[in-house]
Structure 1
Amino acid sequence: MAAVHRDVPIDSGPEEVWAAIRDWGEVHHRLAPGFVVDTRVEGDVRAVTFAEGTVVHELIVTLDDDARRIAYSVVGGSLEAVHHHASMQVFAEAGGRSRFVWITDVRPHSLAEPIAAMVDQGIRVIRRTLEAAATPVP
Structure 2
Amino acid sequence: MTTLRFDAHVEQGPDRVWAVLTDVHTIPQWFPAVREAHSDGVHRHLRTPEGTLQALVVTKDDELRRFQYRFAEGLPEPIDFHLGTIDVLPDGDGSRVIYSQEILPESLAPLVERAVGAGIAGIARYFATHP
Aligned pair partner of 1:123 in 89, 101, 120: 120
Question: What's the CA shift for 1:78?
Answer: 3.0
- Residue 11 of structure 1 corresponds to 11
Q: Deviations over 1:67-114 (max 9, x none)?
A: 0110000112235711221010100111x2110001101111122122
- Residue 43 of structure 1 corresponds to 41
Closer/same/farther in 2, CA of residues 78 and 16 from structure 1, 3 Å limit = same
Closer/same/farther in 2, CA of residues 73 and 79 from structure 1, 3 Å limit = farther
CA distance in structure 2 between the aligned counterparts of 1:106 and 1:54, rounded to whole angstroms: 20
**TM-score normalised by length of structure 1:** 0.85
* CA root-mean-square deviation: 1.7
Contact 1:56–1:76 (CA under 8 A) maintained in structure 2:
yes
CA distance in structure 1 between the aligned counterparts of 2:28 and 2:19, rounded to whole angstroms: 14
Contact 2:13–2:95 (CA under 8 A) maintained in structure 1:
yes
Unaligned runs of 5+ in 2: none
Closer/same/farther in 2, CA of residues 36 and 53 from structure 1, 3 Å limit = same
Is 2:21 aligned against 1:21? yes
- Residue 70 of structure 1 corresponds to 67
Shift >6 Å, 4+ stretches: none
- Residue 111 of structure 2 corresponds to 114
Q: Per the alignment, in what secondary structure is the counterpart of residue 36 of structure 1?
A: coil
Is 2:25 aligned against 1:55? no
Q: Give 1:4's aligned amino acid.
A: L
Closer/same/farther in 2, CA of residues 80 and 69 from structure 1, 3 Å limit = farther
Q: Between Structure 1 and Structure 2, how many residues are aligned?
A: 130
Question: What's the CA shift for 1:25?
Answer: 4.0
Q: Give 1:24's aligned amino acid.
A: V
Q: Per the alignment, in what secondary structure is the counterpart of residue 67 of structure 1?
A: coil
State, as a whole percentage, how many aligned pairs show the same letter. Answer: 26
